[in-house]
Amino acid sequence: MNRKKFLKKGAVGVGSIIAIPTMFSSCKKADDFDPAACAESATETAGPFPIKTPADFVRENIIGDRAGIPLMITLNIQNINNNCSPIQGALVDVWHCDADGNYSQYNGQLDGNFTNNNFLRGRQTTNAGGNASFISIFPGWYPGRTPHIHVEVKNSAGNSLLITQVSWSDTVSNEVYGTAGYKANPDTNNDNDGIVSNANLADSLTGNTTDGYVLTKTIKVAD
């Protein structure tokens, strides 16, 4: 499905993304606040192929020339030092592999040299609700890792606050990897991956292989 069709989808496209910030930014009453739930998100490794120059790729659409099932990624950034209130102006960097398991900007991968490519990488600045969204494709997988998305959150001055990874239900992965254009049968899932913890699973991943998916995740940092 092409980008224009994806963006016109009310249930899975822009309609959902418009609704998500409203959900995330709704204010809690002071007496509803739960300090135990306001803890920093788990830190994960930046590797294997972090963005070399993230400031050069400030963009919402990070697809580039890659093909795959549409995926809208919406991340909500919260500050644990301020009762997990949303952070406006945070820099959010996202990167992940293509449908074949390859990252841009690097060589020595599964399918060749991608040092002159910049697909599936981008930066957005959070809005007043603490949200940053990216138009992408569903990531593929490569040997030894469960499917995942890399995220780094920086403050407005560019100082790193958290590097993490986001994974999701193996059930959804199996649905996607049963379609044309993706490799089937990942050799690693959430249970036997040595890096991504269950705490870093997506808050929600809704949709289908025809219309695409919407992933949402709240990431809590100390700012």
Rg (CA), the chain: 17
Q: For residue 19, is pLDDT > 50? A: no
Q: Is residue 204 part of a domain?
A: yes
Interval 173-188 mean pLDDT: 94
Lowest mean pLDDT among 6-15, 43-52, 163-172: 6-15
3-state secondary structure of 23: helix
Quickly state the pLDDT bin for 45 (edges 50, 70, 90). Answer: confident
Q: Is residue 76 part of a domain?
A: yes
Percentage of residues in the chain having pLDDT higher than 90: 70
Q: Is residue 13 part of a domain?
A: yes
Residue in the block written with tokens 């780094």: 152
Quickly state the pLDDT bin for 33 (edges 50, 70, 90). Answer: low
Distance (Å, whole) CA 32 – CA 148: 32
Q: Distances from the Cα of 98 to the Cαs of 34, 125, 141, in angstroms?
A: 38, 23, 8
User: So what's the pLDDT on residue 32?
Assistant: 57
Q: Is residue 44 part of a domain?
A: no
Q: Is residue 36 part of a domain?
A: no
Q: For residue 66, is pLDDT > 60? A: yes
Interval 175-191 mean pLDDT: 93
CATH of the domain at 160: 2.60.130.10
Q: Distances from the Cα of 140 to the Cαs of 137, 179, 204, in angstroms?
A: 9, 11, 18
106 Cβ contact partners less than 8 Å away, ≥ 6 residues apart: 48, 49, 114, 115
Q: For residue 2, is pLDDT > 80? A: no
The parent domain of residue 141 ranges over: 3-20+63-221
User: So what's the pLDDT on residue 87?
Assistant: 98
Q: Read off the pTM.
A: 0.85
Distance (Å, whole) CA 32 – CA 35: 10
Interval 108-137 mean pLDDT: 94
H or E segment to which residue 1 belongs: none
Interval 106-122 mean pLDDT: 90
Distance (Å, whole) CA 145 – CA 77: 25
The number of domains in the chain is: 1
Lowest mean pLDDT among 30-39, 87-96, 124-133: 30-39
Q: Is residue 43 part of a domain?
A: no
